[in-house]
């Protein structure tokens, strides 16, 4: 479903954000992207959805690598086709929501892609129900909490029924209850998921595979449990063990001391 071949990118040519990144993600996979601040995680998502494009960094555009989404190369010419397959939930919900009410925000994309009123309403009903926010439909977006805005942002993306979902820090504004709701509904969403998050416990609970980025390069790619239990690897790349694993180790140490 997703393929990157030798992708590099820099906002400032003196400091690459991504350097020669290649990876493949298969249909139905749920993959976590982990890394310290500045590792290139959010930039990677923006490249996948065509908000940014690979940087030749001294090469010709043909040599700068390419990105494919379900067989379609991500280029300016192909953006409409790519964005019908891929949905992107922004880290900042205010950058994603701009209509006066929740219902109109969720309806915007289906209507913009040419669905009639009946089809659009059906998509709105489905998306609001799936996320569990039917009671917010008539509310002004300006009245919502940060967590509510995050859930509405998810509904706006789900209304297009994308095959691939990209999440940039999806739990950053969620209280514990809504964080748990998000984790619970993830399997119901279907499709292929790519989740960028500093919440390593979220990735541990929801993802079967982790890609660890450091200074714009992939330093590990494999089984979630293996990578997120590797304390030396995580600490060498600016991260700590997930809290769940830290707790397990503390409990184990306490048990050993009492024996």
Secondary structure letter of residue 12 according to DSSP: B
Cα 126 from Cα 180, distance rounded (Å): 20
The alpha carbon dihedral of 171, 175, 176, 182 has a sign of negative
Label residue 219 exposed, middle or buried (CB < 10 Å: 0-12, 13-18, 19+). Answer: middle
C-alpha closest to that of 49 among 131, 218, 163, 153: 163
Structure tokens at 111: 């209507």
**End-to-end Cα spacing for the chain:** 51
Residues lower than pLDDT 50 in the chain: 58, 60-63
pLDDT of residue 56: 57
**Which runs of E-coded beta strand occur in the chain?**
2-9, 18-25, 30-34, 66-69, 72-73, 86-89, 164-168, 192-196, 209-214, 217-223
pLDDT of residue 45: 95
Cα 259 from Cα 248, distance rounded (Å): 17
Cα 158 from Cα 135, distance rounded (Å): 17
pTM above 0.85, yes or no: yes
3-state secondary structure of 229: coil
- Written as one string, the DSSP assignment of 49-118 is TTSS----TTS-GGGS-EEEETTEE--GGGHHHHHHHEEEE-SSGGGT--SSBHHHHHHHHHHHTT--HH
Q: Look-up: residue for tokens 């050993």?
A: 256
């Amino acid at each position: 479903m997703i393929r990157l071949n030798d992708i590099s990118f820099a906002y400032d040519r003196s400091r690459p954000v991504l350097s020669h990144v290649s990876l493949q993600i298969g249909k139905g996979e749920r993959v976590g992207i982990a890394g310290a601040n500045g590792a290139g995680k959010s930039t990677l998502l923006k490249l996948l959805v065509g908000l940014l494009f690979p940087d030749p960094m001294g090469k010709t555009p043909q040599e700068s690598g390419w990105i494919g989404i379900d067989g379609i190369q991500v280029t300016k010419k192909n953006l409409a086709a790519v964005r019908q397959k891929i949905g992107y939930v922004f880290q900042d919900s205010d950058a994603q929501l701009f209509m006066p009410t929740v219902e109109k925000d969720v309806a915007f994309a289906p209507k913009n892609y040419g669905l009639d009123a009946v089809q659009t309403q059906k998509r709105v009903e489905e998306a609001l129900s799936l996320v569990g926010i039917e009671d917010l439909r008539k509310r002004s977006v300006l009245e919502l909490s940060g967590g509510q805005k995050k859930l509405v942002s998810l509904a706006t993306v789900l209304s297009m029924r994308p095959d691939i979902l990209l999440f940039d820090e999806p739990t950053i504004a969620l209280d514990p209850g809504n964080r748990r709701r998000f984790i619970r509904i993830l399997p119901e969403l279907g499709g292929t998921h790519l989740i960028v998050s500093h919440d390593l416990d979220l990735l541990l609970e929801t993802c079967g595979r982790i890609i660890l980025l450091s200074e714009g390069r992939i330093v590990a790619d494999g089984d979630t449990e293996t990578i997120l239990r590797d304390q030396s690897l995580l600490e060498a790349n600016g991260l700590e063990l997930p809290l769940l694993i830290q707790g397990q180790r503390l409990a184990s140490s306490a048990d050993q001391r009492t024996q």
